[in-house]
């Protein structure tokens, strides 16, 4: 299960936004986002390009730091 670290989330609304942005990506499911650590993990039905994941998150105003 791939995981990334998202910077800039400050409340549950941010968590929802990130979760939705990830779930909208083809092949991504089972998204879990932790507010405190910034960790977002997901399952992929087929390999999902990390660059696509980062782009989706940056598009909604957050930063992927790892």
Q: Which residues bind Cu ion (CB under 5 A)?
A: 10-11, 13-14
CB of 48 to Cu ion, least distance (A): 24
Q: Residue 17 is encoded by which pair of tokens?
A: 């936004």
In the complex with Cu ion, which residue's Cβ is closer, 16 or 29? 16
**d(C-alpha 31, C-alpha 33), whole Å:** 7
CB of 44 to Cu ion, least distance (A): 26
In the complex with Cu ion, which residue's Cβ is closer, 4 or 14? 14
Q: Residue 12 is encoded by which pair of tokens?
A: 């549950």
**d(C-alpha 31, C-alpha 19), whole Å:** 6
In the complex with Cu ion, which residue's Cβ is closer, 48 or 62? 62
């Amino acid at each position: 299960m791939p995981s990334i670290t998202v910077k800039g989330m400050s409340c549950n609304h941010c968590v929802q936004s990130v979760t939705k942005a990830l779930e909208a990506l083809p092949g991504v499911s089972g998204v879990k986002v932790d507010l405190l650590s910034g960790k977002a993990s997901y399952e992929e039905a087929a390999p999902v390009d990390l660059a696509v994941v980062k782009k989706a998150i940056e598009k909604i105003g957050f930063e992927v730091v790892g």
